């Protein structure tokens, strides 16, 4: 059974289509990162996953249960960290822990306090007086306290400083190592997620345009660059023999980002062009560079 199974999910706001038949699955124990520009449809999808949004068509199954029809049963086994940390502003982290402990059959308050201590977050200061980063860390600690089978994170490092972002990702890595928790997250922090995500998907205009293992994705994308004075004919040859995701020009260098990179294809593309492969450089791309190449010009609906 998949930890998450999204089947033909469609969301409309009046005439506006926010999600258009989105389908994907997340295997147990994996870290799945959903990427997309603002307005791509990520927030609509997350609202469906936590049972806050009824889809116009399709369904979202979490741990085999329908998120909309069986929301209470689903959330008993799922930890959620929303994009905007929310809690009664007068309550401290300890008080929040005691309140939440009544809602779950198992609750690790000692682990929650230890986690916040590692974060350097005061446990006896009112939630409303905490910084944005501290509120997020309290939210993560609360979400992990009942030892959920599945963790949903909506851009958990948004607005955090580098130290706080590092702490959040280190905590997730530790949680994965200790319990094998399945993690689904939306994020703008591509550098941070690159080191822990098993699989990545990209939403653009309400549609899923990519769903692939991170390492496979990084192996098939390359940037090919060459001096502008030797560029004549090369771009056309590359475009004909390898799908071009993006092209750029500057500082005397022309470059293309190609998907499905193959060394033999490159050699064939350079054959017959003056200069051949002279001056041609091939370089790997980061997840962020691939994302920009694939969705830098895309828009969509949020």
What does the pLDDT look like over 238-265, one tens digit per residue?
A: 555 566 666 666 555 677 788 887 777 7
**Please, what is the average pLDDT of the chain?**
85
Q: What is the mean pLDDT of residues 199-206?
A: 93
Give residue 189's pLDDT band: very low, low, confident or very high (50, 70, 90): confident
> pTM of the prediction?
0.86
Say what the pLDDT of residue 159 is. 77
What percentage of the chain carries pLDDT values higher than 70?
84
Q: Other C-beta atoms within 10 Å of 270: how many?
A: 20
Q: Is the confidence at residue 99, as pLDDT, over 90? A: yes
Above 60 in pLDDT, residue 11? yes
Which segments of the chain does DSSP mark as H helices, in order? Answer: 42-49, 71-75, 93-101, 109-119, 132-144, 162-179, 190-194, 214-220, 234-241, 263-270, 287-295
What pLDDT, on a 0 to 100 scale, did the predictor assign at position 240? 58
Domain coordinates of the chain in residue numbers? Answer: 4-213, 222-284
What average pLDDT does the segment 203-222 reach? 91
Give the CA distances from residue 35 to residues 193, 207, 211, 286, 290, in Å, rounded to whole numbers and listed in that order.
Answer: 10, 12, 10, 14, 11
8 Å CB contact between 256 and 223: yes
- Give residue 198's pLDDT: 92
pLDDT at 299: 41
Quick one: pLDDT at residue 276? 58
**pLDDT-derived band at 222, boundaries 50, 70, 90:** confident
**Domain at 4-213, CATH class:** alpha beta
- CB-CB contact of 223 with 285 (8 Å): yes
pLDDT of residue 125: 97
**In this structure, what token pair is assigned to residue 90?**
């007068």
Angstrom distance (rounded) from CA 233 to CA 223 = 17
pLDDT at 39 over 80: yes
Q: What is the pLDDT of residue 144?
A: 93
Residue that wins the pLDDT comparison between 257 and 182: 182
């Amino acid at each position: 059974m998949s930890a998450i199974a999204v089947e033909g999910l469609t969301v409309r706001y009046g005439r506006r289509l926010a999600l258009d038949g989105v389908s994907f699955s997340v295997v147990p124990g994996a870290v799945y990162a959903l990427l997309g520009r603002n307005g791509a449809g990520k927030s609509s999808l997350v609202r469906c996953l936590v049972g806050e949004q009824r889809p116009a068509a399709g369904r979202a199954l979490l741990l085999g249960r329908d998120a909309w029809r069986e929301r209470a049963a689903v959330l008993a086994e799922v930890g959620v960290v929303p994009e905007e940390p929310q809690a009664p502003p007068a309550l401290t982290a300890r008080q929040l822990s005691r309140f939440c402990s009544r809602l779950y059959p198992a609750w690790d308050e000692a682990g929650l306090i230890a986690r916040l201590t590692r974060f350097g977050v005061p446990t006896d200061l009112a939630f409303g007086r905490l910084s944005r980063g501290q509120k997020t860390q309290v939210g993560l600690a609360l979400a992990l306290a009942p030892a959920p089978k599945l963790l949903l994170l909506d851009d958990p490092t948004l607005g955090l400083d580098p130290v706080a972002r590092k702490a959040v990702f280190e905590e997730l890595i530790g949680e994965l190592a200790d319990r094998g928790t399945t993690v689904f997250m939306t994020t703008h922090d591509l550098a941070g997620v690159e080191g822990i995500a098993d699989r990545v998907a990209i939403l653009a205009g309400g549609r899923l345009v990519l769903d692939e293992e991170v390492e496979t994705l990084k192996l098939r994308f390359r940037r090919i660059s060459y001096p502008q004075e030797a560029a004549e004919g090369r771009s056309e040859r590359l475009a004909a023999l390898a799908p071009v995701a993006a092209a750029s020009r500057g500082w005397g260098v022309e470059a293309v980002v190609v998907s499905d990179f193959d060394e033999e294809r490159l050699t064939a593309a350079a054959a017959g062009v003056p200069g051949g492969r002279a001056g041609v450089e091939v370089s790997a791309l980061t997840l962020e560079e691939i994302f920009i190449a694939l969705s830098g010009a895309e828009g969509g609906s949020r």
